[in-house]
Amino acid sequence: MEETVMEELICEEAILAEEIPEVKPAAVVNKNGVKAEAAIASGGGGAASGFSGTKIFTWFMVLALLGVWSSVAVVWLDLVDYDNVIARAKEFPFNFSEVLQGKLSAYDADGDGDFDVEDAKVLLGVKERPVSLVQREANEESAVEEQTEPIVEEVIQTTEGTEEEEQQAPEGESPDAVGTPAKSEDATEEAFEGKLAVEAGSFEAEAAVQVEETAVPLPPISDDFVPDDSRDEATQPYEESKQFTDRPGSQETREAGNAEDQPEDMLKYKDKKKKPKLLNTFEKTIKTEIDAAEKLRKKGKVEEAVLAFDTLVQQYPQSPRCRYGKALAEDDLAEKMRSNDMLQKALSTYKEASELPNATPDLIKATLKKRAERQQFLGRMRGALATLEKLVQIFPEDVALKNDLGVAHLLIGDNKSAKRVYEEVLAIAPSNGFAKVHYGFILKSENKIAASIPFLRDGLESGDPGTDDGRFYFHLGDALQRMGDDSAYKWYERGHQRGHFASVWQRSLYNVDGLKAQPWWTPKDTGYMDLVKTLERNWRTIRDEALSVIDKTTGLFVPEEENLREKGEWGQFTLWQQGKKAGESCDSVPKTCGLLERYPEATGCKRGQIKFSVMQPGTHVWPHTGPTNCRLRMHLGLVIPKTGCKIRCTNDTRAWEEGKVLIFDDSFEHEVWQDADSYRLIFIVDVWHPELTQYQRQTLSPI
């Protein structure tokens, strides 16, 4: 539109110009040395020798009219976006006093060396910059980047025992690559965001324990596209990309997240950390080639990086650094392609690099640590354990590697071996916070509640990397509650402030952000009115089938195994778990299962169960919370004593009624008392949180 109007204005100017009397050209000298203008003037009379008053007036009127009509057109037709022009002017890094002095070449936007109308068009966005100029600036910018790229020093120890020789490490090699427990990146978060670093040092102790009523113990930590429980879906980790946040803790706060909260001396320590030495003596001679390939990888050109490093490996097959670079590039390409096959290829290359002769100790350490992390990502926990055991054998004095080895034992449910590892760490590093929180957890899992508290508390207070994890706040608070210590809520509050809990009351760790959060719900709130009516209309049928199998001789009701009871007896008979039928359990209660088959919000709830629950007199269930905010829990009363049975959720205590459904969000703290004279029997039905989308219900991993 703006170009069309401009063309019309130009045409009007041309028409007006035709009506103006011809203006004599400037005087020039011909071959004979005579001014041509003078010759013409002499043939046209004296009046033509200069401008007359009439002509001057005519010129003045023409210019005035052009100015007026141009201004009208600009304003009326809105040819110029004044706000945009002003905004662009504010971005100019030049002094406008220089413009007034005639130094307009600084605004040369089309590369012709001066400032003119074409430059103005470029600045206003009417015209694009010349391709040659853009390319030239890109080259200049690339040159500047190369000059300002951060340099990492590499220290090579000589065999003669001389001083260490400092040298630049390949670009992009982080000084944090080795020596500390690996960290996961948050993230975010909530779609797949790029580079994954599986947190080997992040606590995943409960991987071998099945979650039932609460989050004690809990499933392992997950990353952006790692299943919550790698036992269930680890074979296809790259197919689990999620478009929403679902990770331990609902916020982004992680151990490295709040630099301002870390002590100043800790930050200085990180800055002064020893740089890794990845190049051997020969590789220093080909460092330029390695850096060139590494730069491709760091800039995201992973396909080109793989080819570049592959070429280097072909040329220098005995170079550990070249092969390590190839493994990193293959790893990045696997992430980009979301390919398990490519990741497996990277794992093989990592192994090859670590086994080559003349590999520096730091390169061996970095390579095997990375391999162990990626094995854990693929769910190959025993393979990762073997890799870490090899690392500890090579570097027996490295406490961080021993800490990682302890985590690897916990991931396969070998708490005994993990405990032994952390005892060794604490024997040589008694103030190591990472070892303390993990050792405290292990003690708590052994029901040594009082003994676990000082280790969990001291470890959290240390602020060491890997300790700021919601599960440690969770277990410390739980241990204090069981000891009758009200300071538990101080730690819950601190966990909330650190972003691990949605609130002091709602302490689930596997959450989807933004879901409605309230402790008690009505059937209308849930939108599952039909399911509630079906349960309440058929409660006697459900009760009678439960009573037919409640006898201990059937073996269907099994004791609660999650250490939630302070005292008493509590049995459960599970029909569905993690969205699947529990074996052949429905054969014993076919009518009950038949009633539920048409309610996928219940039978398809991969983060819940459907089960009968019987509780004997004298039973008390500790205050606890469920593992996730993705479900709601329905309790249908089947056999309820008249008095003595109650349930508290947050600070609201209620009682069951036979044939009626209670609905609450078990991610909030709740507690149960059974002080009646006879047993209490209820039917528990977990349903998806009503605000979860269909896509989320399909892609959330089971708990």
Residues 6+ apart with CB under 8 A from 496: 502, 503, 504
What pLDDT does 61 receive? Answer: 75
What pLDDT does 53 receive? Answer: 60
Using pLDDT thresholds of 50, 70 and 90, give the confidence band for residue 133.
low
Mean of pLDDT values over 232-242:
42
Question: In this structure, are residues 515 and 690 in contact, taking their beta carbons and an 8 Å threshold?
Answer: no
* Pick from 61-75, 330-344, 430-444, 632-646: least confident: 61-75
Q: Is the pLDDT of residue 312 over 90?
A: yes
From the list 536, 558, 537, 540, the residue with the least C-alpha distance to 548 is 540
CA angle 131, 134, 139 (to 5 degrees): 125
Question: In this structure, are residues 14 and 60 in contact, taking their beta carbons and an 8 Å threshold?
Answer: no
* Pick from 260-269, 270-279, 462-471, 693-702: least confident: 260-269
Mean of pLDDT values over 677-701:
97
Burial zone of 698 (CB within 10 Å; 0-12 exposed, 13-18 middle, 19+ buried): exposed
Question: In this structure, are residues 678 and 672 in contact, taking their beta carbons and an 8 Å threshold?
Answer: no
What pLDDT does 522 receive? Answer: 97
Question: How far is CA 66 from its chain centroid?
Answer: 60
Coil, helix or strand for 83?
A: helix
> 583 or 23: whose pLDDT is higher?
583
Question: In this structure, are residues 515 and 488 in contact, taking their beta carbons and an 8 Å threshold?
Answer: no
CA–CA gap between residue 538 and residue 574 (Å, rounded): 19
Mean pLDDT of the chain: 76
Point out which residues pair with 567 in neighbouring strands. 620
CA–CA gap between residue 164 and residue 154 (Å, rounded): 9
State the CB neighbour count (10 A cutoff) for residue 65: 12
Question: How far is CA 15 from its chain centroid?
Answer: 65
Strand 645-649 versus strand 652-654 pairing type: antiparallel
Using pLDDT thresholds of 50, 70 and 90, give the confidence band for residue 502.
very high
Which two three-digit tokens encode residue 300?
């995201």
Question: In this structure, are residues 279 and 155 in contact, taking their beta carbons and an 8 Å threshold?
Answer: no
State the CB neighbour count (10 A cutoff) for residue 493: 15
Say how many residues make up the chain: 703
CA–CA gap between residue 384 and residue 492 (Å, rounded): 33
Single-letter code of the amino acid located at 368: L
pLDDT tens column, 372-404: 999 999 999 999 999 999 999 999 999 999 999
Question: In this structure, are residues 172 and 295 in contact, taking their beta carbons and an 8 Å threshold?
Answer: yes
What pLDDT does 236 receive? Answer: 44
Question: In this structure, are residues 250 and 189 in contact, taking their beta carbons and an 8 Å threshold?
Answer: no
Question: Angle between the 433-445 and 470-482 helix axes, to the nearest 10 degrees?
Answer: 50
What pLDDT does 433 receive? Answer: 97
Eight-state DSSP code of residue 107: G
> 672 or 223: whose pLDDT is higher?
672
pLDDT tens column, 585-599: 999 999 999 999 999
Mean of pLDDT values over 656-661:
98
Residue 555, phi-psi category: left (phi > 0), alpha (psi -120 to 50), beta (remainder): left
Three-state SS sequence of 468-521: CCHHHHHHHHHHHHHCCCCCHHHHHHHHHHCCCCCCCCECCCEEECCCCCCCEE
Coil, helix or strand for 66?
A: helix
Q: What is the pTM of this model?
A: 0.64
From the list 209, 234, 210, 239, the residue with the least C-alpha distance to 222 is 234
What pLDDT does 417 receive? Answer: 97
CA angle 278, 404, 339 (to 5 degrees): 70
What pLDDT does 480 receive? Answer: 97
Alpha helices in 395-447 (DSSP H): 399-411, 415-428, 433-445
Q: Is the pLDDT of residue 122 over 60?
A: no
| Phi, psi (deg, nearest 5) at residue 294 | -65, -35
Coil, helix or strand for 281?
A: coil
Residues 6+ apart with CB under 8 A from 605: 576, 579, 631, 686, 687, 688
What pLDDT does 58 receive? Answer: 75
What pLDDT does 142 receive? Answer: 46
Domains in the chain with CATH codes? 2-123 (no CATH), 175-274+379-514 (1.25.40.10), 279-359 (1.25.40.10), 520-699 (2.60.120.330)
